[in-house]
């Protein structure tokens, strides 16, 4: 008997797009795009792209975005979204510089205070989302404006000054490797352990997959949501500290746009905004992709006015190719 192959299917019974969907789910798709972009930039300007200073700039750009994206990754896994992470980073950056104000003895207390502030903001988000029927989108959109407004009430101009030690963390590098990358590496390790080696991680996936079913199975849904937002807020505050370290001063607009960039890299990394599915590897690939896109503007001397256009084209192309889609068949 002759085997029949259905139209639009491979001999193995999979849709032609199945390989792409699988790559998206595992996070390999984002890294594939990164590899292609690296190849393009190498051909376009090999000496400039592989220069130690340029590699350091790319890696440095991943730190702040990576910290924020890790927190967004957790929240998206639960089926929520946090639009306030950029404002939280902004407020943290401003207060870090103002509280330290050049005094080394204040550095550690100020950093700890900012991490606690981020955790407090996350706690408020988690409690409201878990105890009411208000969507996380609405809750965090309101606090996005609220926190940004507080930052502008504190100061409308750059203020404060961080210490040389903190600047060294943000700016010093060994060859092409910035010291700040160690901060991101620690955060990635912690989040990876939480997601794949603890009960909390299993609960996060369960809540995002089906909140009602998770609750019926005994999963502490409320506590899981609160913890996810607490971690997101803490990481956003840490990103703000790194912003202050890089700028040496605090700015009331330092973290603007970070929330959209974080959502972008998580989605490009293969996450479902409905929750329950996201790849940590893919999110990190999305961070690397966005950092490469940003660095290419200077490297290839693109006009600044075209930056948003080019960024949008790259992101749309990546999403069209690799973000999992449902079928009408």
Q: What is the pLDDT of residues 63-75, one digit of tens each?
A: 999 999 999 999 9
Give the pLDDT score at 301: 75
Q: Which two tokens stand for residue 35?
A: 């590899």
Look at 84 and 47; give whichever has higher pLDDT: 84
Angle between helix axes 107-131 and 136-154 (nearest 10 degrees) is 150
Specify the pLDDT at position 329. 45
Confidence class of residue 18 from pLDDT cuts 50, 70 and 90? low
The two tokens of residue 127 are 């409690």
Q: Which pLDDT belongs to residue 324?
A: 54
Surface-to-core class of residue 266, CB atoms within 10 Å of its CB (0-12 exposed, 13-18 middle, 19+ buried):
buried
d(CA 319, CA 111): 36
> How would residue 16 be classed by pLDDT, with cut points 50, 70 and 90?
very low
Is residue 268 pLDDT above 90, yes or no? no
Nearest alpha carbon to residue 27 among 287, 325, 257, 206: 287
- Separation of alpha carbons 117 and 150, rounded Å: 13
Q: Quote the Cα angle for 37-42-43, to 5°.
A: 100
The answer, yes or no, to whether residue 244 has pLDDT greater than 80, is yes
Question: pTM for this one?
Answer: 0.89
pLDDT digit string, tens, across residues 285-298? 999 999 988 888 77
pLDDT tens digit sequence for 100-115: 999 999 999 999 999 9
Question: H-type helices in the chain, by residue range?
Answer: 18-26, 28-44, 46-49, 52-77, 85-100, 107-131, 136-154, 164-171, 181-197, 199-209, 211-216, 221-247, 258-268, 280-299, 307-322
pLDDT of 138: 96
Distance between CA atoms of 67 and 89, rounded to whole angstroms? 10
Q: 234: which 2 tokens?
A: 């803490």
pLDDT band, very low/low/confident/very high, at 99 (cuts 50, 70, 90): very high
Q: How far apart are the C-alpha atoms of 120 and 228, rounded to whole Å?
A: 12
What is residue 325's predicted lDDT score, i.e. its pLDDT?
53
Least confident of 146-155, 216-225, 261-270: 261-270
Which SS3 state, helix, strand or coil, does residue 75 take? helix
Q: How far apart are CA 271 and CA 277, in angstroms?
A: 6
Confidence of residue 305 (pLDDT cuts 50, 70, 90): low
SS3 of residue 173 by DSSP: strand
* 227-239 pLDDT tens trace: 999 999 999 999 9
Q: Which residue has the tokens 């988690």?
A: 126
Least confident of 25-29, 195-199, 316-320: 316-320
Identify which has the larger pLDDT, 78 or 47. Answer: 78
Which pLDDT does position 269 carry in this prediction? 87
State residue 4's pLDDT score: 41
């Amino acid at each position: 008997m002759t085997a029949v192959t259905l139209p639009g299917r491979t001999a193995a019974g999979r849709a032609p797009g199945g390989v792409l969907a699988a790559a998206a789910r595992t996070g390999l798709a984002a890294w594939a795009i990164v590899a292609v972009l690296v190849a393009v930039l190498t051909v376009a300007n090999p000496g400039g792209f592989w220069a130690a200073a340029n590699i350091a700039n790319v890696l440095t750009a991943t730190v702040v975005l990576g910290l924020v994206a890790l927190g967004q990754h957790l929240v998206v896994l639960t089926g929520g979204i946090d639009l306030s992470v950029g404002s939280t980073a902004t407020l943290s950056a401003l207060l870090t510089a103002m509280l330290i104000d050049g005094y080394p003895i204040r550095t550690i207390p100020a950093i700890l205070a900012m991490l606690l502030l981020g955790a407090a903001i996350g706690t408020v988000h988690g409690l409201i989302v878990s105890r009411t029927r208000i969507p996380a989108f609405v809750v965090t959109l309101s606090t996005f404006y609220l926190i940004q407004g507080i930052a502008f009430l504190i100061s409308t101009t750059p203020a404060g000054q961080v210490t040389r030690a903190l600047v060294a963390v943000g700016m010093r590098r060994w060859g092409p490797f910035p010291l700040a990358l160690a901060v991101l590496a620690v955060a990635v390790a912690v989040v990876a352990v939480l997601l794949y080696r603890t009960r909390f991680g299993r609960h996060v996936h369960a809540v995002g997959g089906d909140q009602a079913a998770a609750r019926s199975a005994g999963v502490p849904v409320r506590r899981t949501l609160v913890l996810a937002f607490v971690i997101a807020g803490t990481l956003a505050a840490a990103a703000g500290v790194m912003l202050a370290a890089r700028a040496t001063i605090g700015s009331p607009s330092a973290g603007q746009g970070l929330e959209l960039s974080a959502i972008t890299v998580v989605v490009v990394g293969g996450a479902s905004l409905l929750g329950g599915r996201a790849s940590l590897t893919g999110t990190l690939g999305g961070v690397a992709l966005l950092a490469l896109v940003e660095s290419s503007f200077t490297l290839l001397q693109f006009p600044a006015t075209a930056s948003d256009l080019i960024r949008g084209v790259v992101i749309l192309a990546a999403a069209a190719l690799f973000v999992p889609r449902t079928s009408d068949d």
